[in-house]
Amino acid sequence: MLYIGRVASHLKTTLPEIRDYVKGKGEVGEYLYETYLNCMKEHYVKSRVIWDIATIAYLIEQNWTTNELVDSPILSEDFRWSFDASRHFIRYVVCYHNF
């Protein structure tokens, strides 16, 4: 499992970016554009986090990130994270590098 954490929340895009760089780039591009277009009623001065790009970036080139293996967290009933050293490891991306 790859956990991107707060890093992914900085990977945002806007409708104009999706329209200019994704729309018209094949069936997947059209699907992504339509999905983004229909995700909210008003797009003016709004952006959305694009979580999947964070994971793909790590899979393409691990050196683009600072990452570490950590014990997998447990989400408690009160929605807080707790940790147990006996659990399996996950890869935690601490930050992305600007190249």
Contact yes or no for 72/88 (Cβ under 8 A) = yes
Buried b (16+ CB within 10 A) or exposed e, 43-79: beeeeeebeeebeebbeeeeeebebeeeeeeeeeeee
Q: pLDDT tens-digit profile of 11-58?
A: 778 889 989 998 999 998 899 899 888 888 888 878 887 766 667 778
Q: Which two tokens stand for residue 64?
A: 């683009």
pTM check: above 0.95: no
The parent domain of residue 9 ranges over: 2-96
Q: What confidence tens digit (pLDDT) does each residue in 62-88 have?
A: 888 888 899 999 988 998 889 889 999
Chain centroid offset of residue 19 CA? 19
Positive or negative torsion for Cα 19, 22, 24, 28: negative
User: For the chain, what is the domain count?
Assistant: 1
